[in-house]
Amino acid sequence: MTSTIKRCAVIGGGIIGVAVARELTRKLPEVQVTVYEKEDRLAAHQTGHNSGVVHAGLYYEPGGLKATLCRRGVHLLQEFCADRGLPYEACGKLVIAQTPEESARLDKIFIRAQANGVPGARMLTGGQIREVEPNAVGLSALHSPETAIVDYAAITAALADDVRAAGGDIRLGQEVTSLEQHAQGVVVGTRDGRDHYDLVVACAGLQSDRLAAATGEPAAPRIVPFFGQYFLLGQEARESVKGLIYPVPDPRHPFLGVHLTKRIDGEMMLGPNAFISFGRESYSWQDINPRDVMNYAAFPGFWNFARQNIPSAVREFSTVVSRRKFVREAVRFVPALEGATVRPGTRGVRAQAMNADGTLVDDFVIARRRNMVLVRNAPSPGATSSMAIAEYIVQQALQE
């Protein structure tokens, strides 16, 4: 198929889309690569609103796509940041258990971490926690010293520089309105016209299901947006935490809950919570998109999910309406944060793929439709795995 590809298009200017474009220029140096991004800048949505964590691969099913691409992605990000002089800080992460039940779940996570080859992962007793985080408390903990933080928007910009240097074209402010499969190739339509390509890769994130449905793919999994609010610790409390502190995932709740995350600029974040958003790209309460709300309100899967997760909704909503409750969640792990001042930080919107029965899609979902590759779900660790996802997509596309 390689010899028949002369022109490629990538839809989406987040880190995955730009990484795919770069990989195409590397594997097919004679091919013209064009990136379409509807915003006036790259990394405008999920890439530019996330925590900046480079996940080590603690939680994922060994041998699964998430685990494999996460570990490969970490290696590629390390190399890329070192090569470009971009900040990459292995500040380390503690997953802390507060109860015997959480300790038992944490032991199972440790087994997965070992199977996934997470470097340096080790279990700590309650007394050993303070050797890593002097102000943290818990019954036991899993320490991942190589978990790191980066600036994903800066990485995206550097990837884009490579695309342009290889002769690729990045078109900002160009929203793709249609994709038409022809006998040979795909026609990409925008408000400015139509262009023909031999291969199209769609990495549309929050709009991925709509773009897929426009090509004739099934409407599900559907994207249901959940916002996540972060707060920033005041200067007086910032030094209380050295790296990342996470709770043990609770299978009764679909989302992780409040945690502490050091940011690459030195700020310390609390969050995020997770609650239904009033728009796929709504970053404030005042920003309401009726079309997006109606889209999930008319989706039976959303109501199935809601019925099954009422306790989780109550938990998350309490942190939405009460900043004190938000901080109290963090105080469970770091008592020194009691009374700490916080201010609003970034707010992101998660592109959560949901099945018709209300179950959440946990793994990466990459669909192939003749001359198109559609990234339908790229949850965390999507940013960590971005360069490995790009390798995987391009390899699959060229094989077929």
Is the domain of 100 the same as that of 232?
yes
3-class DSSP string for the chain: CHHHCCEEEEECCCHHHHHHHHHHHHHCCCCEEEEEECCCCCCCCCHHHCCCEECCCCCCCCCCHHHHHHHHHHHHHHHHHHHHCCCEECCCEEEEECCHHHHHHHHHHHHHHHHCCCCCCEEEEHHHHHHHCCCCCCCEEEEECCCEEECHHHHHHHHHHHHHHCCCEEEECCCEEEEEECCCCEEEEECCEEEEECEEEECCHHHHHHHHHHCCCCCCCEEEEEEEEEEEECHHHHCCCCCEEEECCCCCCCCCCCEEEECCCCCEEEECCCEECCCCCCCCCCCCCHHHHHHHHCCHHHHHHHHHCHHHHHHHHHHHHCHHHHHHHHHCCCHHHCCCCEEEEEEEEEEEEECCCCCECCCCEEEEECCEEEEEECCCCCCCCHHHHHHHHHHHHHHC
Global confidence as pTM:
0.95
Whether residue 60 is contained in a domain is answered as no
Whether residue 54 is contained in a domain is answered as no
Is the domain of 375 the same as that of 247?
no
Whether residue 73 is contained in a domain is answered as no
Q: Which one, of 208, 240, 239, lies nearest residue 376 by Cα?
A: 208
Domain with 267 in it: what CATH number? 3.30.9.10
Q: How many domains does the chain have?
A: 2
Structure tokens at 53: 């964590």
Whether residue 314 is contained in a domain is answered as yes
Q: Which one, of 110, 69, 81, lies nearest residue 93 by Cα?
A: 110
The pLDDT value given to residue 33: 98
What is d(CA 170, CA 99) in angstroms, rounded to the nearest whole number? 51
Is the domain of 139 the same as that of 166?
no
Is the domain of 241 the same as that of 136?
yes
Chunked mean pLDDT (size 10), the chain, 400 residues: 83 98 97 98 96 96 94 98 98 98 98 98 98 97 98 98 98 96 94 96 96 90 94 89 95 84 94 92 93 96 94 80 83 93 92 94 91 94 98 89
Whether residue 375 is contained in a domain is answered as yes
Residue span of the structural domain in which 380 resides? 2-48+153-221+362-399
Is the domain of 158 the same as that of 16?
yes
Is the domain of 368 the same as that of 329?
no
Domain with 9 in it: what CATH number? 3.50.50.60
Is the domain of 252 the same as that of 395?
no
Is the domain of 173 the same as that of 260?
no
What is d(CA 147, CA 121) in angstroms, rounded to the nearest whole number? 10
Is the domain of 241 the same as that of 313?
yes
Is the domain of 142 the same as that of 230?
yes
Is the domain of 322 the same as that of 395?
no
Is the domain of 121 the same as that of 167?
no
Whether residue 303 is contained in a domain is answered as yes
Cβ neighbours, 10 Å, residue 4: 10
The pLDDT value given to residue 326: 82
